[in-house]
């Protein structure tokens, strides 16, 4: 039994050896990192939207986001009277955080939020699950559009991991990509 336990432990340690013993993980292209991030963001229904209040304190809340579009732009629905709306008006820099516990994966996006009250966009970005929360879509429903500036991604399942020395996650600058609009 002791040999079996020691053997299993050795196999577990051996599977972690490349990252643990200082070898750098394989370099990934920008497109591979974006694809890894998109997979996590698409399969994780909820994320945290983090805003900053007037005293500089971070406020996080769980949001039911739409999947990112081709430019990694993320849309949310919210109540126009919510705290997050007033915080975005004062300070539009936000962070989104997606976490996939099962695959030991996460995506963190720093971006610029914009409040959108356009009826066409509101019709396009609507989930029927939300009817109870927004009885009057014209007045009680507002959109938040987040344009990413930078993303960080870790996905141990696919080998997208941080550096072994300081655990710095892989990141992608998306600012130029989203200036087009």
Domains of the chain (ranges; CATH) run 23-178 (2.30.110.10)
- The pLDDT score that the predictor gives to residue 25 is 58
Residue 148 clears pLDDT 60, i.e. is over it: yes
Return d(Cα 134, Cα 131) in angstroms, integer: 5
Is the pLDDT higher at 180 or at 90?
90
Radius of gyration of the chain (CA): 20
Average pLDDT, the chain: 85
- pLDDT digit string, tens, across residues 101-113: 998 999 999 999 9
Beta bridge partners of 107: 98, 153
Copy the structure tokens of residue 171.
């990141």
Question: What one-character-per-residue DSSP string does 83-116 give?
Answer: HHHHHHHH--EEEEEEEETTTTEEEEEEEEEEEE
pTM: 0.81
Tokens 């005293």 identify what position?
Answer: 55
Contact indicator for 108, 96 with CB cutoff of 8 Å: yes
Residue 22 clears pLDDT 70, i.e. is over it: no
Count of alpha carbons within 13 angstroms of residue 126, beta-carbon side: 19
- pLDDT digit string, tens, across residues 72-95: 999 999 999 999 999 999 999 999
**Which of helix, strand or coil describes residue 174?**
coil
Output phi, psi for 113, to 5 deg: -95, 145
């Amino acid at each position: 039994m002791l040999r079996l336990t020691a053997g299993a432990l050795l196999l577990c340690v051996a599977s972690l050896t490349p990252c643990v013993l200082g070898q750098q993980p394989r370099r990934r292209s920008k497109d591979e990192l974006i694809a890894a991030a998109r997979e996590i963001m698409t399969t994780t229904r909820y994320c945290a939207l983090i805003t900053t209040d007037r005293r500089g304190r971070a406020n996080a809340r769980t949001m039911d986001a739409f999947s990112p579009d081709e430019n990694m732009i993320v849309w949310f629905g919210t109540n126009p009277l919510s705290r997050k709306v007033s915080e975005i008006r004062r300070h539009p820099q936000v962070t989104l955080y997606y976490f996939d516990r099962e695959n030991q994966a996460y995506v963190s996006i720093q971006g610029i939020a914009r409040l959108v009250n356009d009826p066409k966009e509101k019709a396009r970005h609507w989930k029927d699950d939300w009817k109870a929360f927004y009885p009057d879509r014209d007045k009680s429903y507002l959109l938040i559009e987040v344009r990413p500036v930078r993303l960080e991604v870790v996905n141990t399942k696919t080998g997208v991991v941080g550096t072994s020395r300081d655990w710095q996650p892989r990141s992608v600058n998306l600012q130029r990509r989203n200036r087009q609009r």
